[in-house]
């Protein structure tokens, strides 16, 4: 990750009021780079599909989202993202990480060979080996079941569960009412060939004036909840949505892409800005005054 000067504690202030709320302060801890490095060393040991830059971005969100509340992870599998989130959250006193997964994915697990197969024991082994078991609140359940009785504020909502449109939509709808002002929602695999994450992000997040700054980091789509001034970011969100929406026709069927369709999909994905982001740059995005 690119360091942000000065080397002492780095503090960025939002010099404005969001609606009638208090001034928000975003602090990038002086040791964040080291914390992310150590967290990645544990995360990389866990099987999964979360890349290094994506994992580091999740760690950045866990450390720096300027809101109070829980970190909720929908879709844990064997604990790769859980280990990253819990390492960072435990270091800075944000916890525990709420990890929700029935651990019976028909895509990630071979049910034909073993109808009762589960990823739960592997998940437990992962968080134990990483030393974060006491900083994870695990729910072996579907997100809809947990959402039905959920009543806690959420500062970071990480959606990496059912990648169908209906699944991603239910995950967002179930927990979005609890996302606090200035909190962040993030979807995994929005720029991979799945129908749910990209469509829900484009339609329900980028298309809503309740969200402000937004973007992509590799396959992660993210946006900050800004109910008071989200409308001021409409043009920027719409520009991003126009590019991202071009991917939806390629993936909405859920079928694997081949040949020319696959090449066209990759070309359109290339046109969506999604490079890695360092802490200072991310803070500048969420700390910038609303466009006029």
Residue 99 lies in a domain: yes
Write the DSSP symbol of residue 281.
H
Mark residue 153 as left, alpha or beta (left: phi above 0; alpha: psi -120 to 50; beta: remaining). beta
Residue 1 lies in a domain: no
| Beta-carbon count within 10 A of 82 CB | 30
Residue 116 exposure: Cα atoms within 13 Å on the Cβ side: 1
Percent of the chain with pLDDT over 70: 86
State how many domains the chain has.
1
Contact 224, 190 (CB under 8 A): no
Rounded mean pLDDT, 90-116: 78
Concatenating the DSSP letter of every residue in 41-90 gives HHHTTS-SS--HHHHHHHHHHHHH--S-SEEEEE--TTTHHHHHHHHHHH
pLDDT tens per residue, range 201-214: 999 999 999 999 99
Element (H or E) spanning 112, and its range?
none
Residue 2 lies in a domain: no
Rounded mean pLDDT, 45-53: 95
Least confident range of 108-117, 121-130, 280-289: 108-117
- The answer, yes or no, to whether the previous bond of 37 is cis (omega within 30 of 0) is no
Name the CA dihedral angle for 241, 242, 243, 249, rounded to a multiple of 10 degrees.
Answer: 100
Residue 227 lies in a domain: yes
d(CA 85, CA 76): 11
Rounded mean pLDDT, 177-195: 97
Residue 276 exposure: Cα atoms within 13 Å on the Cβ side: 12
Residue 102 lies in a domain: yes
The domain of 184 spans: 10-287
Tokens of 14: 């939002």
Residue 4 lies in a domain: no
| Beta-carbon count within 10 A of 131 CB | 13
Least confident range of 13-27, 45-59, 112-126, 262-276: 13-27
| Confidence check: pLDDT of 13 > 80 | no
d(CA 134, CA 136): 6
| Confidence check: pLDDT of 109 > 80 | no
Residue 5 lies in a domain: no
Residue 292 lies in a domain: no
d(CA 257, CA 287): 39
What is the pLDDT, as a whole number, of residue 291?
A: 73
pLDDT tens per residue, range 52-83: 999 999 999 999 999 999 999 999 999 999 99
Read off the CATH number of the domain in which 175 is found: 3.40.50.150
């Amino acid at each position: 990750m690119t360091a942000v000067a000065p080397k002492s504690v780095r503090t960025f202030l939002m010099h404005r009021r969001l609606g009638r709320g208090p001034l928000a302060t975003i602090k990038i801890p002086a040791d964040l780079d080291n914390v992310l490095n150590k967290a990645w060393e544990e995360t990389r040991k866990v099987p999964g599909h979360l890349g290094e830059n994506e994992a580091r971005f999740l760690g950045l969100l866990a450390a720096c989202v300027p809101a109070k509340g829980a970190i909720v992870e929908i879709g844990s599998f064997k604990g790769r993202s859980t280990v990253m989130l819990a390492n960072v959250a435990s270091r800075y006193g944000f916890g525990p990480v709420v990890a929700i997964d029935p651990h019976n994915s028909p895509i990630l697990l071979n049910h034909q060979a073993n109808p009762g197969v589960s990823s739960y024991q592997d998940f437990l082994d992962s968080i134990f080996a990483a030393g974060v078991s006491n900083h994870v609140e695990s729910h072996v359940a579907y997100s809809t079941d947990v959402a039905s009785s959920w009543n806690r504020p959420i500062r970071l909502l990480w959606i990496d569960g059912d990648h169908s449109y209906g699944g991603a939509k239910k995950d967002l709808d179930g927990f979005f009412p609890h996302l606090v002002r200035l909190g962040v929602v993030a979807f995994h695999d929005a720029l991979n060939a799945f129908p749910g994450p990209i469509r829900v992000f484009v339609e329900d997040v980028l298309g809503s004036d309740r969200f402000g700054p937004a973007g992509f980091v590799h396959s992660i789509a993210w946006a900050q909840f800004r109910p008071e001034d989200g409308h001021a970011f409409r043009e920027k969100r719409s520009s991003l949505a126009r590019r991202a929406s071009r991917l939806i026709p390629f993936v909405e069927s859920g079928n694997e892409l081949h040949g020319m369709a696959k090449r066209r999909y990759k070309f359109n994905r290339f046109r969506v800005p999604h490079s890695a982001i360092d802490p200072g740059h991310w803070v500048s995005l969420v700390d910038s005054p609303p466009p006029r």
